[in-house]
Chain A
Amino acid sequence: MTAHDWYLDNRMAFAARTLEPDDESVFANHLTRCEECRSAVAELERDLAWLPMGLAPVPLRPGLIHALMEGVLRPRRIHWWNWAAGLATAASVSLALGVWIAARREIGGLKSALEARQGWLSATKDSLSAIMGAERVLQETVRGPGYEGGFLLFYDQDTQRWNVVVHDLPPARAGEAYQLWFATGRGLVPGPELRANGQRPTFLSLPAPGPWSDFVGAVLTVGPAGAGAPSDRPHGVELARLKF
C-alpha cells in the first residue's frame, strides 16, 4: 500500500465530510498538490450534490424570505455615531487598562522598594542592637583625598566576633581597594579587603586576630588592589585609625 492509497481510500469520506478533522486537514492539503484527487473529489461532490434534497423541505416561516433578502442586500449599517461610541468606549477601556497597568507597576515598584528598605532596616536594627550591647565600640570619621565617610568597630560578645562597619565611603577608585588592618602589640595584622558602594553601609564580621589582650585597634587604608599578600607594613593611604 502506498502513501497515496490512503487518499484513494478516503476520497469519498472527504467529499462527504466524514473524516476526522485532522485527517480532513491532511487531505485538503494533499488536494492542493494532487490534480488526480482534486478531480476525483470534485466529481464525487457533484454526484452527491443533490443528496441534501433527500430531506423534506422545511416550510418557511412568514417573513423569512424578506428577511433573507434584507440581510443579503442591506446588511446592517453601522452609523458613524455607533462606531464613534464604540471607539470612545474602546479608548476609555484602553485608558483605564493603561492606568491600571501603570498603577500595578508603580505599586509593584513601591512594594519592592519597601521590601528592600525593610530588609535594610532589619539588618541595621540587628547591627545597632549588637552595637548597643557591645562592650567596646570605636568610631572614627574617614577623611582622605576624595574619601569621606565613617569607620566603626565593635565587639559582639554573643558571637565573640569583631564587627566592622564602613559607611558613606565611595567605591574605591579603579585599581584601588580598601584594606582593613588589626593593630596589635606585635604590629599591624592584615585583615580583609572592604568593598564600599557609597550608598549602603558595609558590614564585616571577623574572628579576633589574636589574644584579646594583644588587640589594640584597627586601621583602614586605601591602596593599589592586588598588590600582593599584605605585609605588616600598610600600603596605600591611611584613612582612619581606631585605638582602645
Chain B
Amino acid sequence: MPADGSDFNRRPAHGVPAGRAGTPALAATRALSLHARLVARDERALAELIETITPWLLGITQALLSDAAEAEDVVQETFTTVWNRIGQVPTESRGLLAWILRAARNRAIDRLRSRKRRVMKSARLAVHGMDGEPFAAAEEPDEAGTAGWHVHRTVHAALEALPREQQVVVWLAYFSGLTQSQIGARLGIPIGTVKTRLRLAFDKLRLVLGPMKDWIL
C-alpha cells in the first residue's frame, strides 16, 4: 500500500470509481485473481476490492439503515471480515463479491434489528411513503465502464419489470429489512398476500439474475 494512500482515493470527480474500460470490471478472471491476491495478503488487491464494491455496499446498507455513518461502519466491518477470513470465502467464480454483498446486507439487517430501529425506519417510510417508484432509475455516471454498472442495469431492469405491488413488497422486504408481518402491517394486507407477492417476485428475479452467475463473480 502506498504510504500516502493516494491510490485509494483515485476515483472520478463524482465519487464513483472508474471501471476498466472495455472489459467487464467484475469479470471472473479478474475476480479470481483478486481472490487469489487477497489470499496472498496483497494490500493492493484489497484496495481494488474496496474501490470496486464500496459504492454498491453503501447503496444497500444506507437503504437499510438510513444512516450514512452507520452504513460506513457496516462496510468497514464487512471488509475487515473479508480480509481476516478470506480463506473461508467461496472460491467459485461468482463467490467473492456476491459473498461480500450478502455479508454486508446481513450485517446491516442485524444492526437494524438489534437496535430496534425498525420503528424509526417505518416512521420514515410512512413519511416518505411509497408514492414514488420504489426503484427509480439512477442516473448513469459519465464513465460507461463504472465498475458493476452493467450489473446494476440488469438488476434494475428486472426490478422495474415487476408489477407495482410486487415491487413494493420487494422494496420493503429486501431493501428496507422489514419482516413479512411488518410488511403486512405496513401495507394493511394479510401476511399470506405478502408471502405470495414475495414468492412471485423472487421467482421472476431468479429467472433474470440466476444466469448472471456464469460470468459474474
Contacts and interface: CB of A to CB of B under 8 A. Distances in A.
Nearest to B202: A12
B10 to A, nearest CB: 9
Give 10 nearest A-B pairs by CB, closest first.
A56-B138, A59-B15, A57-B55, A49-B98, A58-B58, A52-B60, A54-B155, A55-B59, A65-B8, A66-B5
B76 interface: yes
Given A45-B102, A48-B206, A50-B98, A60 B177 contact: no
A73 B181 CA distance: 41
A52 B101 contact: yes
B50 interface: yes
A68 interface: yes
A50 B101 contact: yes
A16 B205 contact: no
A73 B3 CA distance: 13
6 contacts: A49-B213, A51-B155, A54-B152, A54-B156, A58-B58, A59-B16
A49 B210 CA distance: 9
A35 interface: no
Nearest to A65: B8
Interface of A: 9, 12-13, 16-21, 44-73, 75
B14 interface: yes
Contacts of B206: 44, 47-48
Contacts of B156: 54
Contacts of A64: 54, 72
B187 interface: no
A57 B5 contact: no
Contacts of A13: 180, 195, 198
A69 to B, nearest CB: 5
Nearest to B180: A18
Contacts of A17: 105-106, 109, 177
B46 A16 contact: no
Interface in B23-79: 43, 46-47, 50-51, 54-60, 62-63, 72, 75-76, 79
B179 A20 contact: yes
A66 B209 contact: no
Interface in B160-217: 173-175, 177-181, 183, 195, 198-199, 202, 205-206, 209-210, 212-213, 216
B135 A73 contact: no
Contact of A69 (B46, B55, B173): B46
Contacts of A9: 195
A20 B184 CA distance: 12
Nearest to A61: B15
B177 A50 contact: no
Contacts of A46: 94, 98, 213
A69 B56 contact: no
B145 interface: no
B148 to A, nearest CB: 6
Contacts of A55: 56, 59-60, 63, 135, 138, 152, 175
A52 B74 CA distance: 15
Contacts of A62: 9, 15
A79 to B, nearest CB: 21
A76 B211 CA distance: 42
A95 B181 CA distance: 50
